[in-house]
A and B are shown apart, each in its own frame.
Chain A
Amino acid sequence: MNTPDSLKEALAALARRPGLHLALLFGLTFGLAKIQHPRKAAFQARNSRHDDPLSSLLGDGRKLFANHFYTKADVYFHSGFYPTILDNQESHRTAHMAEDAGVTSSKNTGDEEQFLGPVRNWIDAHGRKHFPSVHTHLGQDSPDGRKSVEREILPWLRFSSKLDPNRVETYTVAAYWLRRTGGHVEAEQFLREGLRANPDSPEILFELGRCREDASDSDRARNIWELAWRHWQERESAKPVEERDRFLASQLLIHLARLESRAGHRDRCLHWLSVLLPLKPNPEEIRKRIAEVQAGLPLGDTDDAPGQAGKIP
Chain B
Amino acid sequence: MHIILAVTGVVILEMIRRKDVYVLLFLTALITLLLGSVNLFGDANIARYLKEVCLTLIWICSVVIAITTAARQIPAEKESRTIFPLLAKPVTRAQVLLGKFLGCWAACALSLALFYVFFCLVSGAREHHWPLVNYFQALLLHILFCGVVVALTLLGSVVFAAPSSTVTIVGVVVMGILLLGRHLHKVALKVGGLAGGFLDTLYYSIPNLEWYDVRDLIIHNWPRMDWTVIATDALYGAAFIGLFLVAAWMRFRRMALN
A interface residues (Cβ-Cβ under 8 A, vs B): 76, 79-80, 84, 86-87, 117, 120-121, 123-124, 126-127, 129-132, 142-144, 146, 151-152, 154-156, 158, 178, 183, 186, 190
Residue B251 at the A interface, CB < 8 A? Answer: no
- A116 CB to closest chain B CB (Å) equals 9
Please, how many angstroms separate the alpha-carbon atoms of A80 and B217 in the complex?
8
Q: Are B43 and A151 in contact (CB under 8 A)?
A: yes
Q: Are B220 and A76 in contact (CB under 8 A)?
A: yes
Residue B77 at the A interface, CB < 8 A? Answer: no
Residues of chain B in range 122-144 having any CB-CB distance to chain A below 8 Å? 129
- A114 CB to closest chain B CB (Å) equals 14
Q: Are B187 and A120 in contact (CB under 8 A)?
A: no
In the complex, what residues of A have CB within 8 A of residue B49's CB?
76, 152, 155-156
Of A84, A86, A130, which is within 8 A of B213 by CB?
A130
Please, how many angstroms separate the alpha-carbon atoms of A144 and B211 in the complex?
22
Known: A76-B48, A152-B46, A152-B47. Contact between A131 and B40, CB under 8 A? no
Residue of B nearest to A87 (CB): B186
1/0 per residue B19-62: CB within 8 Å of A? Answer: 00000000000000000001011110111110000000000000
Q: Give the 3 A-B CB pairs with smallest separation, nearest first.
A: A80-B216, A79-B220, A144-B221
Known: A130-B214, A132-B216. Contact between A154 and B40, CB under 8 A? yes
Residues of chain B in range 187-220 having any CB-CB distance to chain A below 8 Å? 187, 189, 203-204, 208, 210-214, 216-217, 219-220
Tell me which of B85-93, B105-113, B150-158, B225-233 binds A.
B225-233
Q: Are B41 and A158 in contact (CB under 8 A)?
A: yes
Residue of A nearest to B48 (CB): A152
Please, how many angstroms separate the alpha-carbon atoms of A12 and B183 in the complex?
70
Residue B253 at the A interface, CB < 8 A? Answer: no
Residue of A nearest to B189 (CB): A120
Count of chain A to chain B residue pairs whose CB atoms are closer than 8 Å in the complex? 86
Q: Are A131 and B46 in contact (CB under 8 A)?
A: no
Residue of A nearest to B219 (CB): A80
In the complex, what residues of A have CB within 8 A of residue B203's CB?
123
Q: Are A186 and B217 in contact (CB under 8 A)?
A: no
Residue B81 at the A interface, CB < 8 A? Answer: no
Q: Are A79 and B222 in contact (CB under 8 A)?
A: yes
- A151 CB to closest chain B CB (Å) equals 6
9 more contacts with CB within 8 A, not counting A127-B208, A144-B221, A152-B47, are A76-B220, A80-B217, A80-B220, A123-B204, A129-B226, A151-B41, A152-B48, A183-B41, A190-B41
- A79 CB to closest chain B CB (Å) equals 4
Q: Are B210 and A130 in contact (CB under 8 A)?
A: yes
Please, how many angstroms separate the alpha-carbon atoms of A79 and B48 in the complex?
10
Residue B182 at the A interface, CB < 8 A? Answer: yes
Known: A80-B216, A84-B183. Contact between A129 and B41, CB under 8 A? no
Please, how many angstroms separate the alpha-carbon atoms of A206 and B40 in the complex?
23
Of B40, B46, B204, B232, which is within 8 A of A126 by CB?
B232
Q: Are B213 and A178 in contact (CB under 8 A)?
A: no
**26 interchain pairs (CB within 8 A)?**
A76-B220, A79-B221, A80-B216, A80-B222, A86-B183, A117-B186, A120-B189, A127-B182, A130-B211, A131-B214, A131-B217, A132-B220, A143-B222, A143-B223, A144-B220, A151-B41, A152-B46, A152-B48, A154-B41, A154-B46, A155-B40, A155-B49, A156-B49, A158-B41, A183-B43, A186-B42
Known: A126-B211, A130-B210, A130-B213. Contact between A86 and B219, CB under 8 A? no
In the complex, what residues of B have CB within 8 A of residue A121's CB?
185
In the complex, what residues of B have CB within 8 A of residue A178's CB?
41
In the complex, what residues of B have CB within 8 A of residue A152's CB?
46-49
Please, how many angstroms separate the alpha-carbon atoms of A152 and B50 in the complex?
10
